[in-house]
Amino acid sequence: MAARMESFNAKVNEIVYLPAGSPDSAMVEILVRIETGSFPVRLGPAAFLKEHGLIVREGDSVHITGFAVTGIDGDLFVATEISKDATHLTLRDSRGRSAWGDGQR
């Protein structure tokens, strides 16, 4: 993957659970706001976030590292790492491979 990695601080405006086979396998996206606007950030499966103690709520401040992609549904930022308070979680490697090991992206 030749995507350019970026890092930024943001405020969480909304949390979206994309449909999946079960609530725990639902992919979590957050809508974040930075100085220049709002955009969606793909995190990972709800169960993976929960297992690693990452609880994100509307209004939270987060630090995100990842890369931008353009898809059928428009522009999206894919997080490789997210930090909130003292919790830091690696979601994907620099090539975009998921840390939860099932190949989802």
- Please tell me whether residue 57 adopts helix, strand or coil conformation: coil
Amino acid in the structure at residue 86: A
Q: What is the biggest distance separating any 2 CA atoms in the chain, rounded to whole angstroms?
A: 36
Distance, CA of 39 to CA of 105 (rounded, Å): 18
- Could you state, in chain order, the average pLDDT of each consecutive group of 10 residues for the chain (105 residues)? 82 92 85 93 94 95 94 85 95 90 53
Q: How far apart are CA 28 and CA 30, in angstroms?
A: 7
Domains and CATH numbers, the chain: 6-90 (2.40.50.140)
Q: Residue 102: what pLDDT?
A: 59
- The pLDDT assigned to 11 comes to 97
Alpha helices in 1-105 (DSSP H): 46-51
Q: In this predicted structure, what is the pLDDT of residue 1?
A: 47
Query: What is the percent of the chain with per-residue pLDDT over 70, rounded to a whole number?
Result: 93
For residues 91 and 43, the answer to whether their CB atoms sit within 8 Å is: yes
